[in-house]
Structure formats: structure tokens, C-alpha cells
Structure 1
Amino acid sequence: MENTKSKKKNSQLIVRINDMERTEFVELCEELDTSAAREVRRFIRCFIAENKKQI
């Protein structure tokens, strides 16, 4: 697989969530010294890797 850092980010995914959940998520990410976008991308990559095996 290609190095993920060399891949260009050229697409957006808009997700609608509750204001309170968003605030809590962003604050927790900041406390953990990460960004919300980074964690969402990490979730997506893990989800793909885990579920690709099932296909």
C-alpha cells in the first residue's frame, strides 16, 4: 500500500452530528493532542481494513 502521507487529500465527507457530541469530540481530541480530522481519517482507514477482509 502507498504511504498514506504521500496521498493527496482531495475530497470531503460531510457528516451531520449533534452539537454536543461534536464539541465533546473536538475537546477530547485537543486534550489528546490530535485533531478531529485526523481521528476521523484513522477511523475510516481502520474500518476499511477490518471490513475489507469480510468481502
Structure 2
Amino acid sequence: MSEKKKKKKDSQLLIRINGEERDQFVSLCDELDTSAAREIRKFIKTFIREHHNNDDDLT
């Protein structure tokens, strides 16, 4: 078993954004061979780490 324990993705976050920005973001993610969801999850994890740097439970 790997050292990092994967947490089950069991929630959704619905946001409203400008359609043109959404399309540009999704296109750029495609060009970079990643997904929009992956990049948003990465942003959220980084944001949490930066603002709660004492929490050991964050992966």
C-alpha cells in the first residue's frame, strides 16, 4: 500500500464563473494534459496548506 492514503472524493463544489474564462481554463488544461478538476483540487489543497500550515491531517 502506498504511503499516501487517498481520500475518497465524495463531495462537489458548484461555482458560477464567466463562460469565456471557463472555456479558456478547460482548453488550457487540455493543452497541458491535465483536467480542470485536478487543477482546482490542487489549488484548494495548496490554499488550505498556506492558510492552515499547522494541520497535519492535510495531504
Q: Which has the larger radius of gyration?
A: 2
Q: Which runs of 5+ in 2 are unaligned?
A: 54-59
The structure with the largest helix share of the pair is 1
* Identity, % of aligned positions: 61
Higher relative contact order (CA 8 A, sep 6+): 2
Amino acid at match of 1:48: I
Amino acid at match of 2:13: L
What is the TM-score with the length of structure 1 in the denominator? 0.86
Task: State the partner residue of 1:24.
Answer: 24
Deviant stretches of 4+, over 4 Å: none
Computed over aligned residues only, the root mean square deviation of the Cα atoms, in angstroms, reads: 1.7
Q: How many residues align?
A: 52
What is the TM-score with the length of structure 2 in the denominator? 0.80
Q: CA deviation at 1:3?
A: 2.3
Q: Which runs of 5+ in 1 are unaligned?
A: none
